[in-house]
Amino acid sequence: MNRTPLELTAAELISGFDSLDLIARLVVEGFLTGLHRSPFHGFSVEFSQHRSYIPGDDLRYLDWKVLARTDRYSIKQYEEETNVRVYILLDISASMGYGKNISKLDYAKLLAASLAYFIIRQRDAVGLTLYNQDIQNSIKPSSAPSQLKIVFEILEQTRASARTKSSLVFHQLAEQLTRKSMIIILSDFMDEETELIDGLRHLRHYHHDIIAFQILTEDELNFPFQGEMEFIDLEENYTLKTLPTLLRKQYVSQMRNFQSRLMQSMLDQNIDFHILDTGRPVRNALFEYLLNRKRHF
């Protein structure tokens, strides 16, 4: 039996479609109708004016009374008053380029695109910041439908490079983002632990609602390698030849301890923290997260 695109893994989604826009729509549209209230919801709207219909406009905002009276297609426009501004921070350091069927960066890009699409559909504002050891690109939040095209184009052109220095970026952003907002961080968080937590603590200073997704591969989680292998550090560029079986137990223990400490630090800072395995379809992971978050509203 053939599977639908929504049942495919994130890797198959990426290889099956050329447009990140289409992928995000497939990921998000499948469950939008199932949520009665968005976890990002927090706006009120008032009617402002009419404008001429443009192909692609949402037909829900077509004014049928005007159409019946004048035989013209007119769209209702609204003034938005939103208390939700969402900043998506995407780690594009070299370590994010790792992955077999799908890299951590490609998985994060698909997640970022889906979240942006979802947020705009809820008529809230979304912005995007790409970073590694510094901010590489940034666009301010907007709720305009045209914002999605900008976000998708940036994501499609993005490649993993350079070292990670999250703390410097977080400190810089903390000084810039003084208005309470929602901040979504997509990263593997493979960084110096103490500095990373200090940077997150600074971001929380203005009481931002922070959601952190740690994106890892099955290799990084369970170290399933067999036979003699050579490992290459993507950011420091040093190599190690070894038998993985000699390291597996110690590696897995250290990885679990790191994740446990990171999770506790996030909890202490009241940061919503989730670990995502790139082997799991993005749609499933996003759907589960949004449902869980919705229960707390």
The CATH number covering residue 151 comes to 3.40.50.410
CB 250 within 8 A of CB 271: no
Least confident piece of the model among 49-53, 180-184, 185-189, 230-234: 49-53
Q: Residues for the chain: how many in total?
A: 297
pLDDT of residue 30: 53
Range of the domain at 71: 43-81
Residue 17 Cα distances to 8, 146, 182, angstroms: 12, 21, 30
146-191, pLDDT tens digit by residue?
898 899 889 988 999 888 899 999 999 999 998 888 899 999 999 9
Q: Please give the single-letter amino acid code of residue 188.
A: D
pLDDT of residue 36: 36
pLDDT at 266 over 90: yes
pLDDT of residue 105: 95
pLDDT at 225 over 90: no
pLDDT of residue 81: 41
Which residues lie below 8 Å from residue 150, measured CB to CB, with a gap of 6+?
139
pLDDT of residue 56: 62
pLDDT at 15 over 60: no
**CA–CA gap between residue 264 and residue 276 (Å, rounded):** 17
117 — pLDDT class (breaks 50, 70, 90): confident
Least confident piece of the model among 187-191, 220-224, 226-230: 226-230
Question: Does 183 share its domain with 277?
Answer: yes
Question: Does 70 share its domain with 91?
Answer: no
Question: Does 71 share its domain with 211?
Answer: no
Phi, psi of 152, rounded to the nearest 5 degrees: -60, -40
pLDDT at 133 over 80: yes
pLDDT of residue 178: 82
CB-based burial, 260-274: b 16+ in 10 Å, e otherwise: eebbebbeeeebbbb
Question: Does 197 share its domain with 182?
Answer: yes
Least confident piece of the model among 238-242, 257-261, 289-293: 289-293
Number of independent structural domains in the chain: 2
Question: Does 206 share its domain with 248?
Answer: yes
Q: Please give the single-letter amino acid code of residue 99.
A: G
Mean pLDDT to the nearest integer, 90-116: 92
| pTM for this prediction | 0.75
Phi, psi of 275, rounded to the nearest 5 degrees: -105, 130
Question: Does 252 share its domain with 146?
Answer: yes
